[in-house]
């Protein structure tokens, strides 16, 4: 029997970037803990199996096509999620992107694309979702940041992921800002800072023996993380178990910052 503190029965969750990968994995994990879930993504072509799995648990599942970098689309996404689920009490800001280039190769378009999706959109999504959480009497916001929000990793190709690291550092800071402002609204705002996670988007890193070796050697556990290993931290931060936790950034990094 699961501990009641981690039971999400009756909770209503919106997950962005949920069309595949980490976002879809987290959405399924929240559903297993009892939550109804809205899956938002600019491309919903990969959600069919996940939707069937969620609905087979007896949970509501609401797919929403949305471009989170556009204000009107954000407002519609939150409104549709709230209407479809019957409220909104959990937000997982997972949508994001990266540009793997050296600093002197980054274009202005690269910078704008990464910062708009990873940071700017998160601010406006969270602000809009917060309106619904206040109506519900409280809620949980979980931002997917990165260990690169805490430290610089220079890979063997001399790439330091400047726009990405800057955006994730901003996510950590913005997490604290929302947390402090909304603390008395019974809305807890926290971030998860993962290490490199095995996903289709990181396959090129795994396939590059030099880069993979550098990540492995830098990580005390000697491996990349798995998507499923983010579910536990997400459920914790979405549940009553974390009611006194806000403004925190939880490193899930295989010991990267301890070693």
- Catalytic residue positions, numbered: 164
Q: How far is CA 7 from the centre of its chain?
A: 20
Q: With contact defined as beta carbons under 8 Å apart, do 161 and 105 qualify?
A: no
């Amino acid at each position: 029997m699961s501990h009641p503190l981690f039971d999400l029965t009756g909770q209503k969750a919106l997950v962005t970037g949920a069309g595949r990968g980490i976002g879809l994995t987290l959405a399924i994990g929240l559903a297993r803990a009892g939550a109804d879930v809205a899956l938002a993504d600019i491309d919903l072509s990969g959600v069919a199996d996940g939707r069937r799995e969620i609905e087979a648990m007896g949970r509501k599942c609401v797919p929403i096509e949305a471009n989170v970098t556009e204000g009107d689309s954000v407002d519609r996404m939150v409104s549709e999620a709230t209407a479809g689920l019957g409220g909104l009490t959990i937000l997982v800001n997972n949508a994001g992107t990266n540009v793997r280039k050296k600093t002197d190769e980054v274009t202005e378009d690269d910078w704008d694309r990464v910062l708009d999706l990873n940071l700017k959109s998160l601010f406006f999504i969270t602000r809009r979702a917060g309106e619904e959480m206040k109506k519900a009497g409280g809620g949980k916001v979980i931002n997917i940041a990165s260990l690169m929000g805490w430290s610089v990793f220079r890979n063997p190709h001399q790439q330091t992921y400047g726009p990405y690291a800057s955006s994730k550092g901003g996510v950590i800071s913005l997490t604290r800002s929302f947390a402090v402002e909304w603390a008395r609204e019974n809305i807890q705002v926290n971030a998860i800072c993962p290490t490199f996670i095995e996903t289709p988007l990181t396959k090129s890193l795994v396939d590059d023996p030099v880069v993979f070796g550098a990540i492995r050697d830098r990580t005390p556990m000697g491996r990349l993380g798995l998507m499923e290993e983010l579910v536990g931290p997400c459920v914790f931060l979405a549940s009553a178990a974390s009611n006194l936790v806000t403004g925190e950034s939880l490193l899930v990094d295989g010991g990267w910052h301890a070693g």
